[in-house]
Amino acid sequence: MMRIDVDAHVDETDATWDYLAESDKRFKPVTLDPGGATAHGDARPHRLWMIDGTILLRRWRDDKRTGTVKETRELLDVDKRLRHMDELRVDVQVLYPTMFLHSYTARPEIELALCKAYNRWIAAATEKSKGRLRWVAMMPYLSIDEAVKEVRWAKDHGACGVFKKGIECDDRAASDPHFFPVYDEASRLDMPICIHNATSHIQSMTVPGNGLGGGMIAIAAFSALAEAGVPDKFPKLRFGFIETGASWVPFLHADLMAKMLRRTFLPIEVKDDLFRKYRFYVACHTNDDLPYILKYGTEDSLMIGTDYSHADQSAEIEALDVIERRGASGDIPAAVARKIVDDNPRRFYGF
């Protein structure tokens, strides 16, 4: 049995941008240290990124709150991170970014430059992990032809998924045909589309959120993809909803059923076994009502992640242990607990 952490993170560093192409050095994010400045709703002092004239948050991390240290968070010491994974009894971590969870530019050339730099940095940083640190590739969706090329490069250099926001590129839904070339290439290469909790509008660190939290934006993709029948267009492609929890599943499933019954604008028949047949996977939270959520055909779709290095409401450094304890106690079947920790993420990421 493997134990797979489906949602761990890294913090980008100034070294990340050493991988910018020479012609793109002018786009390098600049680190600012304003000496005690705080972000909206957070009294702790912060460093900042300056990207394309916009000031974005670059968080300080607290070792105690995150259960991690700088060397592991920033991949400065890969061996130390692997030792920590051994302590947590985690065989594989799938790495997601931090800075890229927020939109940072509307200029295609800057997006392309930073995505390529990040992908090359994390490919190099994880190479010595011998497959225990896998990663999800950033995509320059404002340059869709370049994004297709980047899917190919990432697959050849250790990536196991393609990053996606629920809404992006001038408010395009995940069902927008603009993204289909990337979906097609990802499907051809057996790489899933990983729709992570993330915000889609560019905003200063001093401005509150854009009305919908990143998790809400991510799960908006569920309805968009299902209602448009996108999985039918790409019958081998897997879609994952990462760091969203699973408590939304009953509501949005019922919403789809209501639309189907009223024959309003839904072009598909809602499948009795929607999650399995549409290859939808969901990274649940440890406090989700799993016995109830399992009634919606999610047994082969649920996964679990720790949100390693972050300290928000999704973070649970012992998340895999919690799921196994819920299986051992009979709260959920032990076989389902094993699927959440091992079988489902193995299938989703193509391990």
Strand, coil or helix: 332 = coil
| 284/241 Cα distance (integer angstroms) | 9
- For the four alpha carbons of 332, 335, 338 and 339, in that order, the dihedral sign comes to negative
Q: Are strands 193-196 and 239-242 parallel, antiparallel or unpaired?
A: parallel
Strand, coil or helix: 96 = strand
Domains of the chain and any CATH numbers: 4-10+78-349 (3.20.20.140)
pLDDT value of residue 326: 96
> Tens of pLDDT along 282-317?
999 999 999 999 999 999 999 999 988 886 777 788
| Token duo for residue 286 | 């440890």
In this model, does residue 213 exceed pLDDT 60? yes
User: Considering only CA atoms, which of 4, 3, 7, 80 is closest in space to residue 315?
Assistant: 7
Strand, coil or helix: 271 = coil
| Token duo for residue 101 | 């969870």
Q: Are strands 133-137 and 159-164 parallel, antiparallel or unpaired?
A: parallel
Higher pLDDT, 40 or 242: 242
In this model, does residue 62 exceed pLDDT 80? no
| 225/278 Cα distance (integer angstroms) | 10
**Model confidence, pTM:** 0.91
User: Considering only CA atoms, which of 153, 219, 227, 220 is closest in space to residue 186?
Assistant: 153
Of the chain, the percentage scoring pLDDT greater than 70 comes to 89
> Tens of pLDDT along 315-346?
788 999 999 999 999 999 999 999 999 999 99
Average pLDDT, the chain: 88
> Tens of pLDDT along 113-168?
999 999 999 999 999 999 999 999 999 999 999 999 999 999 999 999 999 999 99
What is the number of other CB atoms lying within 10 angstroms of the CB of residue 338? 16
pLDDT bracket for residue 221 (50, 70, 90)? very high
What are 298's strand-pairing partners?
Answer: none
| 312/310 Cα distance (integer angstroms) | 6
